[in-house]
């Protein structure tokens, strides 16, 4: 038959370009998130509280905090990204939007990339804006704080992208939260190592250009590969339910 | 070739082949492993630097070697699962993952115990030990995800995606941990990098690696058979098999 | 033989405890894995046998005609 079922059902669908579709998904996610502001705030509060625990739990000494500060901030950022990942697909999964997304004529991995970008703008970016304040509280020097923010700027998108794979894989499972952390934390280790390593190198006065470039390579690699894996995982999870 | 490939996808065919292979794998493995270990324990010369504690190498290196290559094998099987939807490939992943985790744990444990007389401490954040620890986490993730998804097909494909994501990450993890290690503690001497191991140490080590490989093959066959029995329990040939074993 | 006596072999110049702990745990864990795998296998077989004898009895007692075609599931392996 020469009749194209898809075109017949949604005559305008093929007219929407990939970039328009990505933009629509991106803007929609931002809008939906701003309707539930508390969900946006929670990971940030978590970030601040985890950082607070370290001076209280280990030592408030300036020497310790200066040494461990960048690590503490990075670990806290990593954990709060991890905490927020559950929301990445959950709402859309519950109300069926995700199935519509999968059925779109545009390639799914690009739509997933758009969703992940929205997730980063909602969680990663606020963390970076908050980091200087917490950096001052753990007695980091000005230069270190700047480098820390730079590493977070490059590193948190990688966290969101890798996390999207885990979120897609655990979608619709009962104990998704803990399982998600179990799957994703090992994959986060390189980002953490290079993130804190760069700040440590900066604190010693070493040039950090090479480290930043390496983290950039991580980011490029994650942008090119992670959406594919996340899209495949999404399809699997949706066929399951 | 393609017919063989096709046959390989048939659980029934595999079951029969595994039955025939398993005694060879088991006895070959046991003989090789024991030959290697006894040679290594009693007859290989003492290491001039580390003394007799180096004899742990004859189980440490095989465990570590297998732990890594089992993950690679799982990754190959994961590709087969995703591309050709072959059921047996997923059965292999599910059957091998716990064995791989045990081997990784053994590599870590023997490494730690070896560290005590060599470095004077049980645990050291050495690059090799740390990346093995992360490999153990990856194994746990694979096992946990497989157990969490009840649907057989989705479980197979989800686990395959996870294994592949892990295998892309392994070199990155390894590289970054090594980099981190040199940043934090330069110039610890390495566990297995020794200037040109003499022949009398090499041969038993090779024997025990081969032996453990065969034993892993036996484990894989046995556990795959069990998994097949569960999955194919409604088929006629499994029913016949169960009845035959009963009488 | 790299050792003069059996005691020397066991003691290994003070490194004995480390070496023997490693070998002990190695064989213990592998043994446990062997046991567990065989046990699993036996359990699966036993469960299958029970189910088979139960369904077999059901079919003979009620003598319900077996459906010639079913849309629910293909029960026979396709090979």
3-state SS, one letter per residue, for chain B: CHHHHHHHCCHHHHHHHHHHHHHHHHHHHHHHHHHHHHHHHHHCCCECCCEHHHHHHHHHHHHHHHHHHHHHHHHHHHHHHHHHCCHHHHHHHHHHHHHHHHHHHHHHHHHHHHHHHHHCCCCCCCHHHHHHHHHHHHHHHHHHHHHHCCCHHHHHHHHHHHHHHHHHHHHHHHHHHHHHHHHHCCCCCCCCCCCCCCHHHHHHHHHHHHHHHHHHHHHHHHHHHHHHHHHCCCCHHHHHHHHHHHC
Q: Is residue A10 part of a domain?
A: no
User: With 70 as the cut, is the pLDDT of residue C1 above it?
Assistant: no
Check CB contact under 8 Å for B52 and C75. Answer: no
Contacts by residues B29-34 (CB-CB < 8 Å, ≥ 24 positions apart) = B29/B211, B29/B212, B29/B213, B29/B214, B29/B215, B29/B216, B29/B217, B29/B218, B30/B211, B30/B215, B31/B211, B32/B207, B32/B208, B32/B210, B32/B211, B32/B214, B33/B62, B33/B207, B33/B208, B33/B211, B33/B212, B33/B214, B33/B215, B34/B211
Percent of chain C residues topping a pLDDT of 90? 23
Question: How far apart, in whole angstroms, are the C-alpha atoms of residue B160 and residue B165?
Answer: 9
Q: Between A and B, how many CB-CB pairs are < 8 A?
A: 77
**Total domain count, chain C:** 1
Eight-state DSSP code of residue A17: -
Mean pLDDT for the stretch of residues C33-60: 83
- Please state, in angstroms and rounded to a whole number, the distance separating the CA atoms of residues B44 and B27: 24
Residue A38 has pLDDT above 90, yes or no: no
User: Residue C77: inside a domain, yes or no?
Assistant: no
CA distance A34 to chain B (A): 32
Establish whether chain C is in contact with chain A, requiring a minimum of 3 CB pairs below 8 angstroms: no
The half-sphere exposure of A9 on its side-chain side, counting CA atoms within 13 A, is 6
For residues B236 and A10, which has the higher predicted lDDT (pLDDT)? B236
Chain C residues whose CB is inside 8 A of the B56 CB are 18-19, 22
Q: What is the pLDDT of residue A241?
A: 60
Which CATH fold would you assign to the domain B20-246?
A: 1.20.120
Please report whether residue C48 resides in a domain: yes
Angle among Cα A116, A119, A122 to the nearest 5 degrees reads: 155
What's phi and psi for B103, nearest 5 deg?
-65, -40
**Does B94 have pLDDT greater than 70?**
yes
Cα-Cα-Cα-Cα torsion B137, B141, B143, B144, nearest 10 degrees, comes to 130
Nearest CA in chain B to A204: B183
Q: Hunting for tokens 């939906």 — which residue is that?
A: A32
What integer pLDDT is reported at residue B183 of this predicted model?
63
- Using a CB-CB distance cutoff of 8 angstroms, which residues of chain A are in contact with residue B173? 186, 189-190
Q: Judge whether residue A2 has pLDDT over 80.
A: no
B198 touches C: beta carbon within 8 Å: no
- Nearest residue of chain B to residue C12 (CA atoms): B52
Scan residues 208-247 of B and list those with Cβ closer than 8 Å to C.
215, 219, 222-223, 225-226, 229-230, 232-239, 242-243, 245-246
Mean pLDDT of B165-182: 81
Give the angle A136-A141-A147 at the CA atoms, nearest 5°.
95
Residues of C in contact with B109 (CB under 8 A): 22, 25
Q: How many CB atoms lie within 10 A of CB B113?
A: 21
**Using CB atoms, which chains have 3+ pairs under 8 A with B?**
A, C
Q: Name the average pLDDT for chain A.
A: 87
Which of 90-109 (B) contact C at CB < 8 A? Answer: 98-99, 102, 105-106, 109
Q: Of residues B173 and A144, which shows the higher confidence score?
A: A144
Residues 5-64 of B with CB under 8 A from A: none
Nearest-10 Cα torsion for B102, B104, B106, B110: -170
Give dist(CA A208, CA A197) in Å, integer.
9
Within 8 A of B134 by CB-CB distance, chain A residues are 186, 189
Q: Which residues of B touch A193 (CB under 8 A)?
A: 176-177, 179-180
| Backbone phi and psi for residue B51, each to the nearest 5 degrees, phi listed first | 70, -150
Mean pLDDT of A36-50: 88
Distance from CA of A130 to the nearest CA of B (A): 27
| CB neighbours of residue B44 within 10 Å | 24
Q: Which residues contact A115 (CB under 8 A, 6 or more apart)?
A: A25, A26, A29, A88, A89, A164
Q: Please give, rounded to a whole number of angstroms, the shortest distance from the CA of B243 to a CA of chain C.
A: 7
The pLDDT of residue B187 is above 50: no
Per residue in A52-82, pLDDT (tens digit) is: 999 899 888 888 888 888 899 999 999 999 9
Name the band, by pLDDT with cuts 50, 70 and 90, for residue A104: confident
pLDDT of residue C72: 47
pLDDT at A98: 87
Average pLDDT, chain B: 84
> Helix A176-203 vs helix B127-148: angle between axes, to the nearest 10 degrees?
160
**Beta-carbon separation of B219 and C37 below 8 A:** yes
Higher confidence at residue B60 or residue B47? B60
Residue C68 lies in a domain: no
Residue in chain B closest to A192 (alpha carbons) equals B176
Distance from CA of B173 to the nearest CA of A (A): 5
Q: Say whether C45 and B242 touch across the interface (CB within 8 A).
A: yes
The number of domains in chain A is: 1
Q: Does residue C31 sit within a domain?
A: yes
At B95, is the pLDDT very low, low, confident or very high (cuts 50, 70, 90)? very high
Please give the residue range of the domain that contains residue C31.
Answer: 24-54
Q: How far does Cα B186 stand from its chain's mean position?
A: 30
Domain ranges of chain B: 20-246
Contact B169, B101 (CB under 8 A): no
- Minimal C-alpha gap between B59 and chain A (Å): 26
Residues A135-158: tens digit of each pLDDT: 999 888 888 899 999 999 999 999
**Rounded to an integer, what is the distance from CA A85 to the centroid of its chain?**
7
Give Cα B163 to chain centroid, integer Å.
14
Residue of B nearest to A232 (CA): B161
Q: What average pLDDT does chain C have?
A: 74
Which of B5, B226, B230 to probe the C interface (max C CBs under 10 A)? B226
Helix axes A176-203, A62-84, angle to 10 degrees: 140
> CB–CB of C77 and B232 under 8 A?
yes
Please indicate whether, in this complex, the C-beta atoms of A169 and B162 are within 8 angstroms of each other.
yes
> How confident is residue B231, by pLDDT bands cut at 50, 70 and 90?
confident
Residue of B69, B66, B39 whose CA lies nearest to B55: B39
Instruction: Identify the domain containing residue A62 by its residue range.
Output: 15-240
Say if the Cβ atoms of A237 and B158 lie within 8 Å: yes
């Amino acid at each position: 038959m020469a009749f194209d079922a898809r075109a017949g059902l949604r005559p305008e669908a093929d007219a929407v370009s990939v970039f328009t579709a990505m933009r629509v998904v991106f803007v929609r996610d931002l809008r939906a998130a701003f309707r539930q502001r508390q969900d946006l705030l929670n990971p940030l509060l978590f970030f601040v509280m985890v950082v607070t625990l370290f001076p209280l739990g280990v030592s408030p000494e300036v020497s310790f905090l200066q040494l461990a500060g960048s690590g503490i901030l990075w670990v806290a950022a990593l954990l709060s990204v991890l905490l927020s990942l559950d929301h990445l697909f959950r709402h859309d999964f519950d109300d069926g939007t995700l199935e519509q997304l999968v059925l779109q004529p545009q390639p799914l991995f690009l739509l997933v990339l758009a969703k992940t970008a929205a997730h980063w703008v909602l969680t990663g970016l606020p963390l970076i804006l908050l980091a200087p304040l917490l950096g001052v509280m753990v007695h980091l020097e000005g230069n270190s704080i700047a480098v820390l923010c730079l590493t977070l700027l490059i590193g948190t998108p990688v966290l969101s992208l890798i996390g999207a794979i885990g979120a897609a894989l655990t979608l619709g499972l009962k104990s998704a939260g803990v399982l998600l952390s179990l799957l994703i934390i090992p994959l986060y280790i390189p980002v953490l190592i290079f993130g804190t390593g760069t700040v440590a190198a900066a604190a010693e006065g070493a040039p950090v250009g090479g480290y930043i470039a390496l983290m950039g390579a991580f980011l490029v690699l994650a942008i090119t590969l992670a959406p594919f894996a996340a899209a495949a995982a999404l399809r699997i999870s949706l066929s399951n339910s | 070739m393609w017919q063989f490939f096709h046959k390989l996808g048939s659980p029934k065919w595999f079951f029969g082949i595994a039955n025939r292979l398993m005694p060879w794998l088991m006895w070959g493995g046991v003989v090789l492993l024991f030959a290697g270990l006894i040679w290594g324990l009693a007859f290989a010369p003492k290491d001039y630097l580390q003394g007799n504690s180096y004899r742990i190498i004859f189980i440490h290196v095989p465990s570590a070697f297998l732990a890594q290559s089992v993950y690679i094998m799982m990754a190959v099987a994961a590709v087969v699962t995703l591309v050709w939807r072959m059921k047996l490939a997923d059965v292999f992943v599910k059957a091998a993952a716990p064995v791989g985790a045990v081997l990784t744990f053994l590599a870590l444990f023997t490494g730690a115990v070896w560290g005590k007389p060599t470095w004077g401490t049980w645990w050291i954040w050495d690059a090799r030990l740390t990346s093995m620890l992360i490999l153990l986490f990856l194994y746990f993730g694979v096992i946990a995800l497989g157990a969490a998804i009840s649907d057989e097909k989705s479980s197979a494909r989800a686990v395959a995606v996870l294994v592949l994501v892990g295998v892309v990450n392994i070199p990155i993890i390894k590289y970054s941990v090594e980099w981190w290690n040199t940043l934090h503690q330069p110039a610890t001497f390495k566990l297995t990098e020794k200037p040109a191991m003499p022949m009398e140490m090499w041969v038993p080590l090779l024997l025990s690696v081969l032996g453990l490989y065969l034993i892993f093959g036996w484990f894989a066959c046995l556990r795959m058979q069990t998994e097949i029995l569960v999955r194919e329990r409604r088929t006629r040939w499994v029913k016949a098999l169960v009845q035959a074993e009963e009488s | 033989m790299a050792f003069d006596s059996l005691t020397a072999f066991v003691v290994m110049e003070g490194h004995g405890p480390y070496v023997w702990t490693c070998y002990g745990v190695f064989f213990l864990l592998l043994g446990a894995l062997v046991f567990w795998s065989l046990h699993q296998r036996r359990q699966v077989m036993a469960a299958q046998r029970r189910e088979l004898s139960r369904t077999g009895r059901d079919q003979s007692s009620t003598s319900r005609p077996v459906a010639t075609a079913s849309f629910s599931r293909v029960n026979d392996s396709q090979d």
